Structure 1
């Protein structure tokens, strides 16, 4: 035996290659897969004993893949062994070795004792890995990551979706607060913001930290407080170019794999991280990603030491992967050791996909849908034959949603059957209701879209996939998205494992699933902006002639070109080399330098303030020039929020920025926005839209139909259309361009002459300064409105209308216990 190979290394290597072990594990996997399909099956005592010995050997290894295998073996045995009541001590032993203390605590230590020295080791490890704040305990893998996080200057880590990345980040943020450090958490979408605010505020309250400014508003940075800001790339983009003397000690980039997305938001993320590195060179940067095997790539992308990274493989749960072929009535399971699919039964006699889902489980099931409309229609169809439930929490939630949205909203009726849908168009407070009910298992079946790929913390017992982009070429990005989604299966505090069911019910619904799932531990990420910066010839052409069309790929290259031009303008003024230009291959530098100089001389961009051009990198040079010209000739200055003032601004912004809204669409958006900023409830806005509706389109690309007020599908199409318009068209696109127009007004006319900035009111849906403050504090729009109208005396504001304190005790005593307001106040 080589001197470099330990006895355990030798045993684990021999065991994994053993014909005996592989045959045993295959038998165990078949029995366990059968049990998941409600087919009775078991493993004998003799085979159980042999498998336990193998599990014990694997659990002693330093290699994560063997430790994970030990966990899988014992979990499966606990499900199908004929002697499973006697397996508690073995389970405790293995769970303790992996630091899975919550799983270990499922077994009574008096009934299932460990050897004395193992019990002592257990106690010592628990004490060492206990969180600095709260009573929870890190698993071994989590503790390793957290320790590195606190000790290293910059750091990147990845882990399974169920690993607890947000949990680790929050724990580190609490460490930062105790050390008086300012932190920005960069999240890819707004859907992640509320979860961070809610969970961080709980601990702030428990620890009694009084000098913390926790906010999702980039404008709320307070110099004499500990700032914890949770921001999207767009919001951080505004902050990083502010005139404030920023002090940011730590930048956390959550869901960092999104830097590899081929979209405009990933370009903004890359830019603000790059800008942070340039403006705040002492700022510590942390990257957190799911699944990927190369977390070092993000450090290296920004010139940082790639050795400061960890790929965590051990998650607190494991997954069972099935391929259910409803066309052939067969089921296959994936063997994690042999890395192959095996057909284990052809006993399936299921009529359709929904029947299969109901036959497998009646609880904790996520059904993945490829579209928002599909998540709604599938949920409605699935629930048709289900009985009404009398669950008081579901009844209360149904009532609350009817009051918030509409009496005929599909979601309120679905809840009464334990079914719901979840997509990006749900209002924030409704989404929170659904997530809370699902996590507490009140909702049994949840039809969801790719919002789960954006990092929403919604683990599940069972995940059902009808299809997953497998008809075309299976790319590394496809695999990353698949395993990120699949990793939702299994909840550490609820189950020991989770189930992923890939279901084929049409000949085209799945391609080669083996290719999709193979080499799970080799899924890699990259940084899309760096790849774009390598295309020097394309950048030169876009700078010379502009983008060829409005297609996404051309828009992205236009952004890259604008980022280079902005960086070049700033550094030329300071006589510094351009950091972005240095990322373009040197062979293109002379041509790029010439075209940049030509652009500065001929385009008129020199007249646009560099800061505004830098903030608006996603706006074409032509549009920047248009805005500058418009403001010089005949600016639209908003003097009030009356319709006679706001409509001309809507019209002008759409024209100047060449937004693709027809006159009819502008009129509709204006009507909705007027009600929105004047505090109309969402329900009232929806009812007004229903009263003024004549036609409807049920799904994207569908035919235009005459609106029938008695047709529930028609009513819900209008409801979803209003919500989508508020969330995207008004609260994102128009808010973005109106804010940019206002910043140009401020630059030309000064803040006193620029009038009112409508963008904040469009985003938050109110013009009440106290409601705005409550929303920035973390309350939803509807609850902020209710609190100001009826309970303002329980909230203290400072001279700048910032929330100072909330008398939650007296406030909760006056709120209905089943109300949304009661829940939100309780959370703060």
Structure 2
């Protein structure tokens, strides 16, 4: 029998400190006092013994219990931050704030404008802080320090396989970017790859990496690549790839000679998502496992309690090569509120008691705009809406009560939006009132200026869907969540925590506020409370989600019958789940044909008997499978027949590359049949029209035609609105939501819905769906005709939004479509482009051309493609 050891003093002190009633009372009182100040309520503050509160904060910050240390340190940090807000002039509070932040290793917090210049008066503490800072020093960044958990992550990157998680504000990707920079500066010639979930994040991460390395890219012969068409990829360099899983997979299939030595998967929780996008992660890992040596693979995810689950994607993993880490520490605090406008009640939420406490009543006439103005009139606000339609509607309602600002930058930006988008665009009106919204595709110049204006505090409030919140790191003081839904589905705990983690700006402040607002009776109070109270549960990889697992036996049945359309699955599953199951089926048939052991095959193994496995192998031999999981064999056979019959892209004629509109519609309708869009794309390009079958395709063709001809956004929108004027019975849609049966050309709101829908079509249909199908058509055309490239390649035209070779060249060099169009204007071409020995070069004066988008992009490109620039 083992004798129990005695508790240490620290264990005795900390084991039950979080159950201390006096501590709970102090914390609850501080939250109350902070809340009545925040809402400007005329109520009596609760009395607090400041000395006792500081003592608790100090004790909690020094917690040593492994299983509770993160929670205790966070609580200590929150206590002292609340004290510093409620008692801003108290010298003892100011001192303890610096002491607690130092103790928990939040040295970056010490640099915030809120608390500059802290010096400890304790000699021993001072010695420890100096030692701790020397250990946490960020390589190559004098005076900058990791948080403790960031340092653990940095050290863990030396393992072959590593999966870690932490709060959104932990700076997970920053650590890996620092590691890659150090490796390169120390002489590495490895190829690094960073996977991000959105195209917006590609641009952000690409710019961050180039910005951190600058001239070192040329000195070390490294280049940053974000698309397989980038010119630098044709040259002899080492590379840092920044791509979505889809882009990386396509590149690896098309350029199998490229070696990847280090893969970082950011936002790895997407591997647990329902829907088809999660399947690309499996396929990327499978492609990498075909290399001579499996690269280092790092997974980073927000708030996941079991990050090691993602390591199961790696085949034949050796447990000695694996490391995992789950951190809960965040350098900023989020204070949460539930505002029930329907019932007229306001509550603050206590994270440690998991309870709501009333602050008071909300006036019956109060709307969202009143709440935002009361708590955020002088701060930076992000307002989350669950649909594109609500983004526009709420933004317009909110701004209608605000005065027009007399600000030159906002006036200039609003005028440019009217010129580059449309004169009646709501966004221009809102900008002049210090408000913006974000839906779909926007010209780079405008998007960057909106983001910069928000960072600079000229724009105070942005309305957006989850796409912007996930895609761009904008510094906000307040986040207003107007629904617990994300699109048509309820937000889960991971999505909610990731959303909440976007608020709080450590550079300026140590905390942020989150307001969950119930604005409609149909929204359930309990759903809001559940999001606040529920911890993030353990995650599964998507193949093991119940929404997928319950249909796997049907997948086996369909495949055993040779049915690649998965008829039984399609009848039983939702559209979202069917998309995932179809892609899993394609991976599965490939695994069986090649006898690969992967997580996908293992998930199906218990449902397979010898007979069904034999039938699937017979129905789908290797030649009927593909690494490209966008297309199944039934589609590929139809496509080959179409191309072999002599089908080509529609012809471009004349100097202006004219295209016969009816020929384009006919071509798209042929692709609709070949690729079975009515089955696989029934929400967008496969949807039948209300008054004629091809009316939806005709609508997309209008936008596609203007896009490939290089028209600016205002021209594309002009023609989209003209199409609606001629075809008013096609209705007014935003996504899959019908706003009106008949388009009214005199309605400003109808125009703005069409503008919003057009921006969404460019982003999601042209540059994703249609681009994907054109890519496959072009690949098949090259294969049938035995050529490496051909004239009139519409995949290239769609991808770059032009038929102009100069514009394509500029985009392949790193410029956006809009910046490339600006540069190719005759006056700018003469000013900035020079031909030297048959090669186009750019004059460095373009760095001060006056166009914010062009200047920003050129600043990066001068380092990533230095040979392009000339003095």
Alignment match of 1:711 (pick from 734, 743, 747):
747
- Aligned partners of 2:95, 2:789: CA distance in 1, in Å? 75
Match of 1:675 in 2: 706
1:304-340 Cα distance to aligned partner (Å, 9 max, x none): 4495111121111011111112233322111122222
Q: Aligned residue for 1:48? A: 50
Assess, with a 3 A threshold, how the Cα gap between structure 1 residues 366 and 225 changes in structure 2: closer, same or farther. Answer: same
Cα–Cα, structure 1 residues 691 and 642, in superposed 2: closer, same or farther, change >3 Å?
Answer: closer
CA distance in 1 between counterparts of 2:335 and 2:838 reads: 54
- Give the match for residue 820 of structure 1: 853
RMSD: 3.1
Judge conservation of contact 2:268–2:299 (CA < 8 Å) in 1: yes
Matches within 5 A, 1:183-332: 183-205=192-214, 207=216, 209-210=218-219, 211-220=221-230, 221-222=233-234, 224-279=236-291, 281-303=293-315, 304=317, 305=319, 308-332=323-347
Distance 2:510 2:371 in 1: 23
Partner-residue secondary structure (3-state), 2:15? helix
Q: Compared with structure 1, are the counterparts of its residues 297 and 160 closer, same or farther at alpha carbon in structure 2 (3 Å cutoff)?
A: same
Alignment of 1:589-628 (within 5 A): 589-600=609-620, 606=623, 610=625, 613-615=626-628, 617-628=629-640
Partners of 1:163 and 1:625 lie apart in 2 by 48
- What SS does the corresponding residue of 2:673 show, helix, strand or coil? helix
Which runs of structure 2 are paired with 1:48-447 in the superposition (5 Å)? 48-62=50-64, 63-81=69-87, 84-105=90-111, 106=113, 113-135=120-142, 137-178=144-185, 179-205=188-214, 207=216, 209-210=218-219, 211-220=221-230, 221-222=233-234, 224-279=236-291, 281-303=293-315, 304=317, 305=319, 308-346=323-361, 351-362=366-377, 363-447=379-463
Alpha-carbon spacing, 1:716–1:452, altered in 2? closer, same or farther (3 Å):
closer
Q: Distance in 2 between matches of 1:718 and 1:437?
A: 26
Q: Secondary structure at the match of 1:446?
A: strand
Matches of 1:799 and 1:133 in 2, distance apart?
40
Alignment match, 2:521: 507
**Following the alignment from structure 2 to structure 1, what is the Cα–Cα distance between the partners of residues 603 and 835?**
48
Map 1:658-669 → 2, pairs under 5 A: 658-659=676-677, 660=686, 662-669=693-700
What is the alpha-carbon distance in structure 1 between the residues aligned to residue 352 and residue 40 of structure 2? 24
Counterpart residue number, 1:585: 605
Per the alignment, in what secondary structure is the counterpart of residue 332 of structure 1? strand
User: Displacement, 1:186?
Assistant: 1.4
Structure 2: stretches of 5+ with no match in the other structure? 678-685, 688-692, 862-871
Partner of 2:763: 727
One of 689, 692, 702 as aligned partner of 2:720: 689
Change (3 A) 1:199 1:35: same
Secondary structure, in 3 states, of the residue corresponding to 1:151? Answer: coil
Q: Structure 1 pair 725/424, CA: closer, same or farther in 2 (3 Å)?
A: closer
- Kindly indicate whether the alpha-carbon contact (under 8 Å) linking 1:540 and 1:595 is maintained by their aligned counterparts in 2: no
> Does the C-alpha gap of structure 1 residues 534 and 393 become closer, same or farther in structure 2, counting only changes over 3 Å?
same
- Bigger mean CA deviation after superposition, 548-557 or 294-303: 548-557
Query: Does the 8 Å contact 2:476/2:503 carry over to 1?
Result: yes
2: CA distance, partners of 1:134 / 1:769: 42
The residue number in structure 2 matching 1:22 is: 24
User: Residue 521 of structure 2: SS of its match in structure 1?
Assistant: coil
* Unaligned runs of at least 5 residues, structure 1: none
**Change in CA separation of 1:568 and 1:29 when aligned onto 2, cut-off 3 Å:** same
Find the aligned partners of 2:268 and 2:649 in 1 and give their Cα distance.
Answer: 40
Whole-angstrom distance in 1 between the partners of 2:81 and 2:45: 13
| Aligned equivalents of 1:6, 1:361: Cα separation in 2 | 47
Q: Give the match's secondary structure for 2:405.
A: coil
User: 630-639 vs 478-487, which deviates more?
Assistant: 630-639
**In 1, Cα distance between the equivalents of 2:109 and 2:42?**
25
- 1:745 offset after TM fit, Å? 1.7
Cα distance change of structure 1 residues 248 and 721 upon mapping to structure 2, 3 Å threshold: same
The 1-side partners of 2:235 and 2:223 are apart by: 10
CA deviation map 1:194-251 (0-9, x unaligned): 1111211212215454422212112443573121111122211212223441210111
Paired residue for 1:567?
Answer: 591
- Would the alpha carbon gap of residues 438 and 373 (structure 1) be closer, same or farther in structure 2, given more than 3 Å must change? same
